[in-house]
Every structure is written in C-alpha cells, then in structure tokens.
Amino acid sequence: MGFFTKETNYQAIEEKTVFVKLVTKVINILQRITHKLKLDKLFENSIFAKPIIWLCLLMFAVPFVPTMITLGLLMMTLLSLLLKVVLAQEFSLNYFRTNLWVLVFLLCVVLFGLSSIATEGIKQIVLLTSAFVVSYFVVIHTVETKGQFRFLLYVFVIAGTLSAVYGIYQYVFGDVFTQSWIDAEMFEDIRMRVYSTFENPNVYGEYLILVIPVIIALFWTEKGWLRKLFLLGMLGITMLAAVLTFSRGCWLGIILEVGILLVIIDKRFILLGVILLMCAPLVLPKTIMNRFTSIGNLKDSSTSYRVNIWYGTVDMLKDYWPSGVGVGTASFNAVYPMYSYNAISTQHSHNLFLQLLSSYGVIGFACFLIMMYEFFKEITIHQLKKKNIVVASLGAGMLGFLLESMFDYTWYNYRVLLIFWVYLALGMVGTKLERKEENDQDTKCH
C-alpha cells in the first residue's frame, strides 16, 4: 500500500520533456499570431470559444444520436478548445498520472491499426478510435471549475435517466418478437430485454454501469431535499432499466460498484448489504432470480457460447500475443476461425482484455493495464487525503465497467468507448479540482 500510494510530481517530470516543450512553443506562436490579427476581439465571448458548452451538448447527446454525429460534436468541442487556447493570454497543460499512457495507447491505436492483417474499413476504425481517445485530453483541459465538473455530471446522468425512461417504455410497449438475446429454453418467462437506444441490452447495461454510481454520489452530496428527491427518482429509473436489460455481467458490475461506493460512504452499509443479499431470494421476482443463478451455467447457450469463444481466442493468442492480429472485426475474423471451438463464429472475443491483446498485442495491453493502475492510484491517493464521494463514484464505476469487461467486449460500441475515455478524464479532473480548491483557500488565508 505504501508503494501504491507513493506520490510522484508528474508535472515536474513532464514539463521537461521535448513533447511538452514543443506543444507549449506551438501554442505560444499561435497565441501571438491570434493577438496580432486581433482575432481575440472577434471571438470574445463567442460560443465557439466555450468548449464546456459543446462538451455538455456531447455528453447529453451520446445516448440518442448515431456515432458519426457524436464524432462531429466531439470535433466541435476540440475546435472550440483550440480556439479558446489560442485566444487566451495564458495557458498551461494539465498533468495527471494517466496522461503519458493515454498518449502511448493512442500511438498503439495508430501503429497497430495501420499494420493490421485486414485492411477493410481500417482507416475509419483508426480515426474513430483515435478521436475518442483524444476526448480524454479534451475533457481534462475543458473542465476548469467544480461548478463545471458537477454540471457536466448532471448532464451525463440526466441523459442516462431519459434513456432509461425510453427503455422502460420499450419494455412495456415494445416489440417482444425480435429478442434474439434470450435463451428461450432456459428463460421462457423473460418476455423482453431492454436495450433502449443502444441496439443491444448488454451494451446498454455497460452504459448504465457508468451512470448509476454518479447518481448515487450526486444524491449523497446534494444538500437540498428537492434535488435529493429528484436524484432518488433518477436512481430508481436507471436501476429498473438496468434490471430489465437482464444482462448478468452488468448486474455483477453494478453490485460491485454500488457495494464499494456505499462502503466508502459509510462502513455500516456492509451489514445492510449482507441483510439485503440474504433477503433477496425472498423478495425478488422468480424471473430475475433464475437469470442471476444461471451465472456460470454452461447449459445456458449464452454462457457456453462465450466460453467457447474465449477458448478459441486464447489458442489464437498463443501464436499472436506479441503483436496481435490488428484492430477491427475484419482482422479478428481473418484469423480466429482457424482456432474456433465448435465452429462458433463471432465478431469479437466477448472480453475486453482478450480483445486488447488480439488488437494491440502485449504492448497495447500492458499500456492499458498501466493506465488503469495509474488511474486507480490517483483516485486512491486522493481518497486517503480527502474523502470525496463524487470522485470515488467515478473510480467505483470504472471497477464495475472492468468487471463487465471480463464477460463482453465493452469497447465494441463506439458511443460506450467515448464515455469510457470521458469517464477516465473526469476521474482525473475531479482529483485536481479538489487540490486546486485547497490551494486557493491556503492562498486566501496567507
């Protein structure tokens, strides 16, 4: 624990690097050109120089618009941030433990993408993935105050709640005859699995995993009872939608993240959790209990399907682990069929960690693990110094997401991929804003 919580002055290290010096120099040149041309007067108070507005619009739109519109909104946010930077009198880069590894991972996306076995659609995949990885840097330089941070989280959870309302409407009035995700023999009592606007119940569950802990944290930290009641309603709606996805991996992820967050809030929740688990079989509907207790049952077609895919992918990686096979489903399917168990065909490995090894080899996989290590290290150090429930919820949400990632390729949907990188950035920004507030208070006192 001493090693894990040891702090390093990353800013002092990164400021000396050639890359940072080059970026700073380019920004300074652009700023001088902008001020000479008096563009700062032209765009003063312009909406195009306020990236936080575009970022909020992006976060609200993610569940409801196609991937390419999401990409367009991200590009607008990036351009707005660049405009704000060149118009500013002063600008400084934000330093976090994860920055270097996100940058290295971005490099892996480009290099392993261009060297993929299959070339079909590879340019689009590399561009989309790279753009969504860059969203991390956009967020850490856009969110500057605790007010902006909290407002952005509210936008995020309100969008998630609206998608949940639509999901519940879908369950009540939707088409129950196109449910290809249900094992009709084992779960004949399940009439429908909610997928809302994400086209797949497992993908939608992955999105809700990231939404639910933030709602709990906002509820716990709000002071007004009207807002608390509003957030409690949002929590109930999103939890109901998560249940109706009937995604067992997502249920496990939500149980893990909520359990961790509640223990951080108050250790007495441990006793309450034990009591609830003991009472669950007595109060939960038979449909839910049957679905939950089927976890690990190889008679379930979904479970056996995944296990066979994992076996085939592991056999493939015995030969391809150093470099992977490249990014994209075309690259995966160019090699995987030769290792397939029971002639099972699939678009991906149904496991984020196996898919990272398949796509980016051991280098990209190691980079991802170090990035996650640094993320949780920063969150843990921050929690030990000052208990912050909102920041803790982002760490808990990431843990829940990674647990679900053991049972599915959670980056398969590009909108969920975008939310992952934004979530990562928000976790880092939350720790910085707390430190910034403490430093400002110290300065005022002196």
Sequence-ordered alpha helix ranges (H) in 143-247: 146-173, 201-221, 225-244
The pLDDT-based confidence of 438 (bands split at 50, 70, 90) is low
Give the residue, 330 or 39, on which the prediction is more confident.
330
Q: What number is the average pLDDT over the span 343-361?
A: 90
Residue 187 in this model has a pLDDT that exceeds 60:
no
Does residue 37 register a pLDDT over 60? yes
**Which tokens hold the place of 78?**
């990036």
Distances (CA, A) of 26 to 31, 48, 81, 144, 387: 9, 21, 15, 22, 39
Say what the pLDDT of residue 137 is.
95
pLDDT higher at 425 or 115: 425
Task: Name the nearest CA neighbour of 125 among 420, 417, 438.
Answer: 417
- What tens digit of pLDDT does each residue of 71-89 get? 999 999 999 998 888 887 6
Rounded CA gap, 14 and 32, in Å? 24
| 77 touches 422 (CB < 8 A) | no
Q: Minimum mean pLDDT among 53-67, 175-189, 301-315: which range?
A: 175-189
Residue by residue, DSSP assigns 391-413 as HHHHHHHHHHHHHHTTTS-TTSS
Locate 191 and state its tokens.
């009439």
Question: What is the arithmetic mean of pLDDT over 132-147?
Answer: 94
Query: Which tokens in the block code for residue 305?
Result: 């399907």
8 A C-beta contact, residue 149 and residue 54: no
Task: Give Cα separations from 204 to 364, 430, 443 (angstroms).
Answer: 26, 25, 45
- pLDDT confidence of residue 11: 66
3-class secondary structure, 279: helix
Angle at 381 between CA 379 and CA 383, to 5 degrees: 70
Across the range 415-443, mean pLDDT stands at 82
So what's the pLDDT on residue 177? 47
Q: Find out whether 250 and 205 touch, Cβ atoms under 8 Å.
A: yes
pLDDT at 8: 67
Q: What does the pLDDT read at residue 51? A: 93
Residue 435 has pLDDT above 80, yes or no: no
Condensed to tens digits (0 to 9), the pLDDT of residues 7-25 reads: 666 666 666 777 778 888 8
pLDDT at 366 over 90: yes
Query: For the range 179-182, what are the long-range contacts, defined as Cβ-Cβ under 8 Å and sequence gap of 24 or more?
Result: 181/302, 182/246
181, pLDDT greater than 70: no
Q: Are 327 and 112 in contact (CB under 8 A)?
A: yes
pLDDT of 117 reads: 82
Is pLDDT of 406 > 90?
yes
Q: Give domain limits for the chain.
A: 10-445
Q: Are 305 and 344 in contact (CB under 8 A)?
A: yes
Of 143-147, 179-183, 198-202, 335-339, the range with the lowest mean pLDDT is 179-183
* Phi/psi-derived region of residue 247, left when phi > 0, alpha when psi is between -120 and 50, beta in every other case: beta
Nearest to 413 by CA among 369, 355, 361, 344: 355
Are 137 and 46 spatial neighbours (Cβ–Cβ below 8 Å)?
no
pLDDT tens digits, one per residue of 382-403: 888 888 999 999 999 999 999 9
Q: Are 240 and 168 in contact (CB under 8 A)?
A: yes
pLDDT for 271 equals 87
Q: In this prediction, what percent of the chain has a pLDDT beyond 90? A: 52
Does residue 439 or residue 261 have the better pLDDT? 261
- Please report the beta strands in 404-443, taking only residues with DSSP state E, as ranges in sequence order: none
Are the CB atoms for 96 and 153 separated by under 8 Å? no
Per-residue pLDDT at 157 = 97
> Per residue in 87-120, pLDDT tens?
876 777 888 889 999 999 999 999 998 888 887 7
Q: Is the pLDDT of residue 184 over 60?
A: no
- The pLDDT score that the predictor gives to residue 189 is 60
| Closest of 161, 162, 138 to residue 56, by C-alpha | 138
CB atoms within 10 A of CB 255: 15
Q: What is the DSSP string of 339-408?
A: G-STT---SS-S-HHHHHHHHHHHHHHHHHHHHHHHHHHHHHHHHHHS--HHHHHHHHHHHHHHHHTTTS
Write down the mean pLDDT value for the chain: 86
The token pair at 364 is 């990209």
Over 60: is that where the pLDDT of 445 sits? Answer: no
The DSSP symbol for 223 reads -
pLDDT (tens digit, 9 = 90+) per residue, 241-299? 999 998 888 999 999 999 999 999 888 888 888 888 888 777 777 777 777 777 766 77
Q: What is the per-residue pLDDT for 190?
A: 67
Portion of the chain with pLDDT greater than 70, in percent: 88
